[in-house]
Amino acid sequence: MHIIHIDMDAFFASVEQRDNPELKGRPIAVGGRPESRGVVATASYEARRYGVKSAMPMATALKLCPGLTILPVNHHKYRQVSEAVMDIFRSYTPLIEPISLDEAFLDVRGSEKLFGPAKVIGMAIQKRIKEELQLSASVGIGPNKFIAKLASDYQKPNGFTVIPQDKVLQFLVPLPVNKIWGIGEKTAASLNRVGIKTIGQLRDLPLEFLEGKFGKHGKILYGFARGEDTRPVEPEREVKSVGKEITFAGDIGDMEELRHTLQELAGKVAHRLRQENLKSGSVMLKIKYPDFQLVTRTESLPEPTNLAGPIYRAASQLLAKHCKPPVRLIGVTCGKLTGERQITLFRDEQLVREEKITSALDKLRDRYGEDVVKLASLLKKDRK
């Protein structure tokens, strides 16, 4: 029993409540504004009592909880707090697999001689997060990642659950099937139709039946229903893409406004790439129309970059070729990521100049916030 899963409780909302004492005890949601078709990124536990959930339209959240306080997402602040949490993890083991800003798996097999068994390490981490960061986290400990993840979710918030190997099957039996990774609403509904509502009932199904119904995924479900999971904790998780998108408050038919929005999104994506020391070799444009039809188009870049200019130019060309306004949503995603420095003998002078300017602007943004400096063209858009 050496795998720990730690999940911060209502992370974005809890950070905001910590930093603004007036928000403590009040229902809050971090996310987009309802008039902009925004969604809930995280809801405080006070808001969850009203039925407010992550990924819910903010307009729906307000109907459920009329007194809801809505706060914008502050990625810069959350990343800083997340790094402080990860630093605590690193003081106990190098085998850390971050799943997102607010959760991670830890393999502590090599650390138990120094710090004690997994339970002791988990308690120490939970205590340090509370004392050093004034935040709460839920801890799950089990023989593998699947069980540890279920355990951390079992008694939130501020939960601490240990599931030893000899208690795994007993723990799984009453849980609903949608607690298993990979079982979404459709798969759960499909299982419910044949009378399978709990993991215990799923375990009674033969492997042949599950493979016939779900293909290769059937074998995974068969193993999970028995508490089996051979996946290791992987410290280096490969980032495959970095993207940013926006859903407009009203459908946009003006191509100039769409180009301005793309320019803003390209700048934010490029900044994120630089923060992660990554460069992109391709740009994907994402468009969603008023009838919810989704269109994506991808363009390869001449050379990998993390500058806003080349990313925007590629996205703008795709927009001109493939967009038929009006548009409900638009997004930019950079793929083919690499951390290697590309050596080019004859650099484009414009790109060299942009790199120098971007480096100076990044220092300002890191110190004063992402919106401290804006392009003049974007200021014109704001005035409109």
**Amino acid 352: pLDDT:** 58
Q: What is the mean pLDDT of each run of 10 residues along the chain (384 residues)?
A: 95 96 96 87 96 93 96 91 94 93 94 94 97 97 96 95 96 93 82 91 92 86 93 81 87 93 93 87 94 91 91 96 93 86 48 63 57 54 47
Last residue of a domain, one of 49, 74, 99: 74
Could you tell me if 363 and 264 lie in one domain?
yes
- What residues contact residue 271 under an 8 Å CB cut-off, 6+ apart? 308, 362, 365, 370
Could you tell me if 217 and 309 lie in one domain?
no
- 236 in a domain, yes or no? no
Could you tell me if 258 and 338 lie in one domain?
yes
Could you tell me if 271 and 334 lie in one domain?
yes
What does 71-115 look like in DSSP terms, one character per residue?
E---HHHHHHHHHHHHHHHHTT-S-EEEEETTEEEEE-GGGHHHH
- 285 in a domain, yes or no? yes
Range of the domain at 217: 173-224
Could you tell me if 252 and 364 lie in one domain?
yes
pTM: 0.70
State the DSSP H helix or E strand holding residue 116, giving kind and residue range, or none if neither: none
State yes or no: is 112 an active-site residue.
no
Could you tell me if 294 and 347 lie in one domain?
yes
- 336 in a domain, yes or no? yes
**Amino acid 345: pLDDT:** 39
Conformational region of residue 221, where left means phi above 0, alpha means psi within -120 to 50, and beta covers everything else:
alpha
CATH code of the domain in which 324 resides: 3.30.1490.100
CATH code of the domain in which 199 resides: 1.10.150.20
Could you tell me if 283 and 368 lie in one domain?
yes
State the DSSP H helix or E strand holding residue 249, giving kind and residue range, or none if neither: strand 242-252
Integer Cα distance of 281 and 306 in angstroms: 9
**Amino acid 81: pLDDT:** 95
**Amino acid 344: pLDDT:** 43
State the DSSP H helix or E strand holding residue 147, giving kind and residue range, or none if neither: helix 145-152
Tokens found for residue 103: 């959760």
Rg (CA), the chain: 23
- 89 in a domain, yes or no? no
Domain count, the chain: 3
Three-class SS state of 39: strand
CATH code of the domain in which 51 resides: 3.40.1170.60
Report the alpha-carbon angle 6-11-17, nearest 5.
135
**Amino acid 42: pLDDT:** 95
**Each residue of 367-384: b (16+ CB within 10 Å) or e?**
eeebeeeeeeeeeebeee
- 254 in a domain, yes or no? yes
CB 160 within 8 A of CB 138: yes
Active-site position among 97, 103, 185, 340: 103
Could you tell me if 219 and 329 lie in one domain?
no
**Amino acid 27: pLDDT:** 97
